[in-house]
């Protein structure tokens, strides 16, 4: 199956997950609002996610996949399976230690993580309780990510891509009665949502476990021990973990700064969820498929095929990301209003979330490009260079956040996040080009410029049309009318963009559909 077909497969499942996630977030906004309880929940949920990205996504999606791909190419399935077992044993041991220590010292850790909550004793204690409930979620998600990395390398993308849907479904099953029948105060509701989140983590792990069993590639865990390959893994993984750590420092610092303003954490979290839809469908899907694809080509000595895969990934990424970013910026407020503004989610929360969404969306192409460019390093077993560049982006993020937060509050943090991502992209692209691993032809540059101009034309048309229908998108207008007008605007934007893309010759749609059907 081709890179393009795999991307569409993973992206489609991610779309299902994100749509379910939007329903979950809409229910969560109605139940929790954007107040102190929501701040506590989102801060608590970020903490296990920090370690999940550090241990599982950081090490396994960067260091493990190239090693596992190489073992499959050179030594066959049995040796690759033994390698996975030895490395995963270390992951499990680390998860056990980290979970036990975190549960014991959670109050002390939370003082550093959300210092702005300390003066509000009730809010701080709720955050500690919620984090203790959800922290074992780390173990479930880390093991799921590790098994998913094995399945992805084997070309089996379905289970790992579908697993996040289960998390959303379990949360929805809890939120529906909380929003309709068993309505509670937001503080009590957060506890039930935290329990549901933990249950969703168990369901995800169970799904991927079943898939790895069916594949016959389940690693048999053993006592961790060092051998030459494990040492090599750690040489590659430590920079990857540091890179993930640096990225999480970004989030950590943003949370610390945002904890100093009322509702800032929850506002940023809701905005983050919205731009994560195209990022997940496009960026994460491409990154998931591209790394094992590049690794297999490079381990097999197929340099030209590797470069072709990266060029193809870049074109598809920008073809879909540019219009999504501009549409989110133009339609930010009606999108937030239709999805979230009900129950405990106020008109002010809509305005604040939309402001953050506009700033985040300016960085959306950069977030996706990072996913496209980093595999060019990781597949060549260079995890140190992206780590250094991630460190530079963190410095940029912190500096801009501290500069802008006093005046712009949550908007300043979102602007800093976008600016730091663009700095990271510039460093990655220039370095790959200097090494001879990445270079766009004149025709490819023209194609990228055409995509940008057509997306801007679509955005201008959307803005004018939204102004004409503004009366139907205001607060207080019936939801069915708001949703209908917003849906019409989105359909208009999609149709306008792809018609112009087709007419201009940037990407003929008949060729795109033919490529999808044949998987080439």
Domain ranges of the chain: 1-26+262-520, 36-259
Q: How many angstroms separate the CA atoms of 224 and 203, rounded? A: 27
Residue 423 binned pLDDT confidence (cut-offs 50, 70, 90): very high
Angle at 465 between CA 462 and CA 477, to 5 degrees: 110
Asked whether the predicted pLDDT for residue 368 surpasses 70, the reply is: yes
- pLDDT tier, 1 (very low <50, low <70, confident <90, very high otherwise): very low
Assign 222 a pLDDT band (cuts: 50, 70, 90): confident
pLDDT at 426: 93
**Helix or strand or coil: residue 59?**
helix
Residues 6+ apart with CB under 8 A from 472: 481, 482, 485
Name which of 199, 277, 285, 201 is nearest 23 in CA terms: 277
Q: What percent of the chain has pLDDT over 90?
A: 9
Q: How far apart are CA 484 and CA 489, in angstroms?
A: 9
The pLDDT assigned to 520 comes to 46
**Inter-helix orientation angle 285-299/137-153, to 10°:** 50
d(CA 207, CA 173): 18
Mean of the pLDDT values across residues 377-397? 82
Q: What is the pTM of this model?
A: 0.67
Average pLDDT over residues 48-55: 68
Mean predicted confidence (pLDDT) in 427-451:
85
Read off the tokens for 278: 């195209």
CA-nearest of 251, 281, 280, 289 to 268 is 251
Kindly tell me the burial class for residue 169, based on how many C-beta atoms sit within 10 Å of its own C-beta (0-12, 13-18, 19 or more).
middle
Give mean pLDDT, residues 28-38. 76
SS3 505: coil
Between these two residues, 286 and 458, which has the higher pLDDT value?
A: 458
> Is pLDDT above 60 for 501?
yes
Percent of the chain with pLDDT over 70: 80
pLDDT at 69 over 80: no
pLDDT for position 457: 94
Helix (H, G, I), strand (E, B) or coil at 372: helix
DSSP assignment letter at 437: S
Reported confidence tier of residue 326, pLDDT bands at 50, 70, 90: very high
pLDDT at residue 269 in the model: 76
In whole angstroms, what is the distance from residue 383 CA to residue 59 CA? 10
| pLDDT surpasses 60 at 247 | no
Q: How many CA atoms lie within 13 A of 509 on its CB side?
A: 10
Both tokens assigned to 269: 């979290």
Whether residue 416 has pLDDT greater than 70: yes
- Answer for the pair 293, 3: CB distance below 8 angstroms, yes or no: yes
User: What is the pLDDT of the chain when averaged over all its residues?
Assistant: 79
Q: Please tell me the distance from the alpha carbon of residue 446 to that of residue 442, in angstroms, as a whole number.
A: 6
Whether the predicted pLDDT of 342 surpasses 60: yes
Residue keyed to tokens 């133009």 = 330
Token representation of residue 442: 């004149």
Encode pLDDT of 151-198 as tens digits: 877 777 777 778 778 888 888 887 787 766 665 677 788 888 888 888
Contact of 451 with 316, CB cutoff 8 Å: no
Structure confidence at residue 211 (pLDDT): 87
Give pLDDT, residue 347. 81
pLDDT over 70 (residue 419): yes
Residue 453 binned pLDDT confidence (cut-offs 50, 70, 90):
very high
């Amino acid at each position: 199956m081709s890179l393009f077909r795999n991307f569409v497969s993973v992206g489609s499942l991610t779309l299902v997950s994100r749509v379910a996630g939007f329903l979950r977030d809409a229910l969560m906004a109605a139940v929790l609002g954007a107040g102190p309880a929501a701040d506590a929940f989102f801060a608590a949920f970020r903490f296990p996610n920090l370690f999940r990205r550090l241990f599982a996504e950081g090490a396994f999606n960067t260091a493990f996949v190239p090693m596992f791909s190489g073992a499959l190419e050179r030594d066959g399935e049995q040796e690759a399976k033994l390698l996975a077992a030895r490395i995963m044993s270390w992951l499990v041991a680390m998860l056990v230690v980290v979970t036990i220590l975190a549960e014991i010292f959670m109050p002390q850790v939370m003082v550093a993580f959300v210092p702005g909550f300390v003066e509000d004793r009730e809010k701080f204690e709720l955050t500690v309780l919620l984090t203790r409930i959800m922290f074992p979620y780390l173990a479930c998600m880390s093991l799921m990510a590790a098994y998913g990395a094995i399945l992805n390398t084997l070309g089996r993308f379905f289970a790992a891509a579908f697993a996040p849907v289960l998390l959303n479904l379990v949360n929805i099953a809890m939120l529906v009665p909380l929003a309709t029948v068993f309505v509670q105060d937001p503080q009590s509701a957060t506890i039930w949502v935290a329990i549901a989140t933990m249950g969703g983590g168990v369901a995800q792990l169970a799904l991927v476990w079943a898939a790895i069993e069916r594949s016959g590639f389940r690693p048999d865990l053993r006592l961790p021990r060092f051998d030459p390959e494990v040492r090599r893994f750690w040489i590659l993984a430590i920079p990857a973990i540091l890179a993930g750590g640096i990225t999480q420092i970004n989030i950590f610092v943003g949370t610390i700064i945002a904890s100093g303003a009322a509702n800032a954490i929850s506002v940023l979290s809701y905005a983050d969820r919205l731009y994560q839809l195209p990022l997940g469908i496009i960026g994460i899907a491409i990154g998931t498929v591209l790394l094992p694809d590049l690794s297999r080509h490079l381990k097999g000595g197929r340099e030209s095929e590797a470069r072709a895969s990266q060029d193809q990934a870049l074109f598809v990424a920008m073809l879909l990301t540019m219009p999504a970013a501009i549409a989110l910026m133009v339609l930010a407020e009606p999108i937030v209003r239709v999805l979230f503004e009900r129950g405990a989610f106020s008109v002010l929360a809509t305005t604040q979330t939309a402001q953050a969404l506009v700033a985040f969306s300016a960085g959306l192409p950069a977030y996706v490009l990072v996913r496209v460019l980093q595999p060019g390093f990781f597949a060549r077993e260079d995890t140190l260079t992206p780590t250094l560049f991630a460190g530079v982006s963190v410095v940029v993020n912190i500096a801009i956040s501290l500069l802008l937060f006093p005046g712009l509050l949550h908007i300043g943090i979102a602007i800093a996040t976008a600016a730091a991502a663009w700095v990271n992209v510039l460093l990655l692209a220039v370095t790959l080009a200097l090494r001879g691993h990445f270079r766009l032809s004149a025709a490819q540059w023209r194609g990228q410029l055409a995509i940008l101009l057509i997306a801007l034309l679509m955005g201008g048309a959307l803005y004018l049309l939204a102004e004409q229908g503004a009366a139907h998108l205001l607060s207080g207008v019936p939801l069915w009318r708001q949703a209908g007008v917003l849906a019409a605007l989105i359909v208009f934007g999609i149709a306008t963009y792809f018609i112009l893309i087709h007419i201009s010759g940037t990407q003929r749609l008949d060729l795109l559909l033919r490529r999808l059907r044949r998987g080439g």
